[in-house]
Amino acid sequence: MNKFTVCRVLLLGSLSIAGAQFAQAQSYPSKPVRIIVPTAPGGSFDIIARSLAQPMSVSLGQPVIVENRPATGGIIGVEALTKAAPDGYTLLSAGNSHFVFNTFFYAKLPYDPRRDFAAISLLAKIPTALFVHETVQAKSLQEFIAYAKANPGKLNYGSAGVGHSTNLSMELIKQRTGANLVHVPYKGLNLGMQDLIAGRIDAMLYSPTAQVMSQVKTGKLRALALASDRRLRTVPDIPTFTEAGLPLDLAIWMAMSAPAGTPRDIVARLNTEVVRAIGLPELTKVYDANSLVPASSTPEQVGQMIEKEIEQWTPIIKALGIKPV
């Protein structure tokens, strides 16, 4: 077989593959679509996936089914997506805890967040606010930072444990500002919040839920700043960290992805349907009721966020001495 023949065979093979992918995209979807959620039912990832599934079922003309696959930091559910056919019929609702933080915590992660996924769009951001007890002598973020710097080790903060996003975010604040705060780890956010309300700890990052905001209204707690790129409609009086003088966006985010190799036309179709669904009035109510910020994006922007966050958290995790297991 001469060089010309080899090139002709390769060209015909490429055209055949491209043609098959085009035909697949044109007929998509022709059967139900599955969204894997690597967390338990009832959480934010699950709520948003199920809320999006209904309008997507209508616009795609096929049932969209949510399947929960929790366990091992979400690894089992995320890995299940990487083993699925790249045809747009298996999707994933996951976030930076799965695509970013797990890369630091697990030595043998069975997936590569840069290689194994075709991002579709952001879905939401889960902002937290910095709350302090009423006895803390600070009524703004800047006053809190100034007091912590002037009184090293006097103030403490609670988190859901070493390596949890609430711990990492507070350590990033300490690094950026020079604030000297003592870490008090808990076995869950709720336990820490109970101690904050009781005055046994001084500060904590926590979602600004209606229950916690009721403590703000009674004067038991103060909300100093929101770890988000924009204010929440449900708590419009809490300034963002940037507005309070510290340009940080520490919100947990969630995004939808497909397996790597999914045809671009299918990814584009899914992006269109997801973005459209997020903008629906009934979805806005779901976001507000769960203290979430609606967020959509291009597929490329999701990849950029993963890269940016891996770079941001690497020095923090090294400084804390966290080793992968």
Q: What's the pLDDT tens digit per position in 243-272?
A: 999 998 888 999 999 999 999 999 999 999
> Does 50 score more than 90 pLDDT?
yes
Q: Considering the entire predicted model, what is its pTM? A: 0.87
Q: DSSP 3-state assignment of 250?
A: coil
Torsion of CA 11, 15, 16, 21, to 10 degrees: 140
Mean pLDDT (the chain) is 92
Is the residue at 239 inside a domain? no
**Reduced to 3 DSSP states, what percent helix, strand and coil does the chain have, rounded to the nearest 5?**
45, 20, 35
Task: State the Cα–Cα distance between residues 197 and 305, nearest whole angstrom.
Answer: 34
| CATH number for the domain that contains residue 178 | 3.40.190.10
Domain of 107, in residue numbers: 31-126+253-320
Residue of 206, 212, 210 lying closest to 226 (CA atoms): 206
Say if residues 205 and 170 touch (Cβ distance below 8 Å).
yes
Residue 168 φ then ψ, to 5°: -60, -40
- Give the pLDDT score at 7: 47
Is the residue at 2 inside a domain? no
Task: State the Cα–Cα distance between residues 10 and 5, nearest whole angstrom.
Answer: 9
Q: Do 48 and 188 fall within a single domain?
A: no
Is the residue at 4 inside a domain? no
Number of domains in the chain: 2
Q: Do 75 and 109 fall within a single domain?
A: yes
Residue-wise pLDDT tens digits, 145-183: 999 999 999 999 999 999 999 999 999 999 999 999 999
Q: What is the mean pLDDT of residues 183-212?
A: 96
| CATH number for the domain that contains residue 44 | 3.40.190.150
Task: State the Cα–Cα distance between residues 280 and 126, nearest whole angstrom.
Answer: 19
Q: Do 133 and 200 fall within a single domain?
A: yes
pLDDT bracket for residue 5 (50, 70, 90): low
Q: What Rg value do the Cα atoms of the chain yield, rounded? A: 22
Is the residue at 57 inside a domain? yes
Is the residue at 180 inside a domain? yes
Q: What is the mean pLDDT of residues 6-34?
A: 64
pLDDT bracket for residue 24 (50, 70, 90): low
- Give the pLDDT score at 8: 53
Give first-to-last CA distance, the chain, whole Å. Answer: 52
